[in-house]
Amino acid sequence: MEKELAERVKLFSQTFSALSHSVQKLAREQEELHLRFGELAAVLERSHLAHRKSLAEEEALSLFLDNILETVQTGIVAVDPVGVITLFNKEAERISGLTASEVLGQKYEKFFPVPLSVLETLAVGKPITGREKHLMNTEGKKIPLGVSTALLYDREGNLSGALEVMTDLSAYKTLETELEQSKTMAALGEMAALVAHEVRNPLAGISGFAGLLKRELKDPNLVTMVEKILQGAADLERLVSSLLSYTNRLELNQEPLPLKELVELTTRDLQGNLERNLEQKDLIVRGDGQYLKMALRNLVENAFQACGNRGNVKITLTAGLLGKTARLSVSDNGPGISPEIQKKIFTPFYTTREEGTGLGLAIVKKIVEAHRGRVWVESLPQNGATFYIELPLWR
């Protein structure tokens, strides 16, 4: 009995020892598993943080690129391989007059000409560099553009579309035209100075001798002929003076000028039915009084010539719409000016009168623009004409 009990105690002890060993081993494995789980969790956390950082960086980069596309002063249009518009930035909207919502998802050729475009690039598989073309915007204005294109590829190297970059050349073309005009004016000025020198001296002699001859002649027919000589000489002198006035550079002696006083001084000696509406007394501009009087007198004399001896001419002085400018208008009740003539009326040497030089209104325009102002005409045939001069107020 004791032997059997001893055997059972020994077996229990061995079983307990084995169980204890298993428990300890399980505890060690559990601890090791916990450590590995912690390491895995840390790796997963680092991976998650890295992924979030990568997404944030990609989002920031995407936002940065979007900001560049929307603020760059260059029109950018992208299409897919079949010519459907996928990108249309703000400058492209401004140039074309179209909105992105109107064109995205639409065929390129629905809105724009094919030559020198992304469609041509897709067709021939070659980019376009530094070419020029014109685009008619939604307002019917012809916009000169500098154009370059490029093919687009995805990460696998497959063709994904094409990109067109267009630059509005309007300002550049305007400067180019002004430069050419400046060169022309310089050459014309040299010619005018030469003409004045070569013509004025003999012209003075002709006028002087013709005047003496007129006093000596008794025959009315001969007197009439001499008067025509004198009139022709006077007309030629006026042409030379006008040519010099137009071609010479304006040297402005600017000072504050009350426009009401300027109008009164300019028109007080003029003959004819002239009405002055000068209720705005405090409009002061900065300018050269002599030149501005010349411009105003020219407009008033033109108005009287347009409506004849029995016509009515009215000068009105008002403030501009935003209160930053002064506006002078000279109106007549003459036959009016057709739209075709209005387009050319300020062009040098353009005239509708046989005795005109075609320089009067061109000189007016030059004087007004030298004062940072603008001049224009409004008229309907048979309803008279109104010429406007608008000048910035003196502050």
pLDDT at residue number 323? 78
pLDDT at residue number 46? 72
Say how far apart CA 227 and CA 31 lie, in whole Å: 128
**Which residue(s) pair with 295 in the sheet?**
none
Tokens of 279: 């209720």
SS3 string, 7-36, reads HHHHHHHHHHHHHHHHHHHHHHHHHHHHHH
Q: CA 48 → CA 40, 55, 215, distances in Å?
A: 12, 10, 112
Reduce the DSSP state of residue 394 to 3 states and report it: coil
Asked whether 303 and 329 are in contact (CB, 8 A), the reply is: no
Tokens of 85: 């518009």
Q: Name 348's Cβ contacts closer than 8 Å, sequence gap at least 6.
A: 246, 358, 359, 362
Helices (H), 125-219: 170-216
Q: Name 301's Cβ contacts closer than 8 Å, sequence gap at least 6.
A: 270
Say how far apart CA 80 and CA 87 lie, in whole Å: 9
Q: Name 11's Cβ contacts closer than 8 Å, sequence gap at least 6.
A: none
Q: How many CA atoms lie within 13 A of 345 on its CB side?
A: 20
Chain centre distance of CA 353: 35
Q: Mind listing the domains of the chain with CATH numbers?
A: 71-168 (3.30.450.20), 173-247 (1.10.287), 255-392 (3.30.565.10)
pLDDT at residue number 153? 92
Q: Is 51 exposed, middle or buried (0-12, 13-18, 19+ CB in 10 A)?
A: exposed
SS3 string, 351-373, reads CCCCCCCCCHHHHHHHHHHHCCC
Eight-state DSSP code of residue 296 = H
Reduce the DSSP state of residue 322 to 3 states and report it: coil
Asked whether 166 and 149 are in contact (CB, 8 A), the reply is: no
Say how far apart CA 259 and CA 293 lie, in whole Å: 10
Angle between helices 220-247 and 360-370 (to 10 degrees): 30
Q: In the chain, count H helices and then E strands.
A: 10, 12
Q: CA 106 → CA 12, 87, 100, distances in Å?
A: 87, 11, 10
**Which residue(s) pair with 392 in the sheet?**
325
pLDDT in tens, the chain (395 residues): 666 666 665 665 666 566 667 667 766 766 776 677 666 666 666 766 666 766 666 676 666 666 767 777 888 899 999 999 999 989 999 999 999 999 999 999 999 888 888 899 999 999 988 889 998 888 888 899 999 999 999 888 899 999 999 989 988 888 887 777 767 666 666 666 766 667 777 877 888 888 888 888 888 888 888 888 888 887 777 777 766 776 667 778 889 999 999 988 888 877 778 888 887 767 889 998 888 998 998 899 888 888 876 778 999 998 887 778 999 999 998 888 888 888 888 887 777 776 667 778 888 898 899 899 999 999 987 788 999 999 999 87
Q: Name 172's Cβ contacts closer than 8 Å, sequence gap at least 6.
A: 144
